[in-house]
Amino acid sequence: MKEFYRPTWLMETIFKLTPEMLKAQGIKAVLADLDNTLIAWNNPDVTDEVRLWLKKMQDSDILVMVVSNNKTSRVKRAVEPLGIDFVSWSLKPLNRGMEVAKRKLGLRKEELVMVGDQLMTDVLAANFAGIRSILVKPLVQSDSLVTKFNRMCERFILKKLSLKYDMSYRKGIY
């Protein structure tokens, strides 16, 4: 059961992910969680760091789409100024959001990667959809009430996974 929660890669932050790393893995699009992956969960605005990272991706023809469990108004407010598409109410850990994103992008699952800060939503949804995943550290240490429960469960799962696998965060994917 714990294998369902195993991410393909672990990285410090989405902002260290480069187009070169992605292209070396045959990845053409990043499906990115919003809260605590791209922006803080308690902040509605994108940062200059997000804009710079997104520009690097766009300049290298890497597509980026947000896949979030959050409501449409929250996700739209955050990503509309960036001009990127999104899937809200994605129902992660179900793979619904992954499938919608895959169809919208017109890509195969082998050409996608899901990046998120939660095992129990982002990684699990990617694994159910057969999409590679990158688990990143949350941008801020505080969480909403629901996420606090998930984090408690995740600590247990990560501990179990680390008995069998190297679960250390890296600066890249290899």
Say which CATH number the domain at 72 has: 3.40.50.1000
Q: Could you identify the residue written with the tokens 């990143």?
A: 136
As a whole-number percent, the residues of the chain with pLDDT over 70 amount to 96
The CA-CA-CA angle for residues 78, 142, 159, to 5°, reads 115
Is there a domain that residue 167 lies in?
A: no
Count: domains in the chain = 1
| CB of 89 closer than 8 Å to CB of 71 | yes
What is the domain extent for residue 95?
2-162
The pLDDT of residue 142 is 63
Q: How far apart are CA 76 and CA 82, in angstroms?
A: 10
Is there a domain that residue 169 lies in?
A: no
Measure CA of the first residue to CA of the last residue in the chain; give whole Å: 25
Q: How far apart are CA 83 and CA 91, in angstroms?
A: 23
Q: How far apart are CA 83 and CA 22, in angstroms?
A: 21
Q: Tell me the pLDDT of the chain averaged across its residues.
A: 91
Q: What is the pLDDT of residues 156-171, one digit of tens each?
A: 888 889 889 988 899 8
Is there a domain that residue 155 lies in?
A: yes
Q: What is the pLDDT of residues 81-131, one digit of tens each?
A: 899 999 999 999 999 999 999 999 999 999 999 999 999 899 999 999 999
The pLDDT of residue 127 is 96
The pLDDT of residue 42 is 77
Region 62-67 average pLDDT: 98
Band (26; pLDDT cuts 50, 70, 90): very high
Is there a domain that residue 171 lies in?
A: no
Is there a domain that residue 168 lies in?
A: no
| CB of 72 closer than 8 Å to CB of 88 | yes
| CB of 30 closer than 8 Å to CB of 98 | no
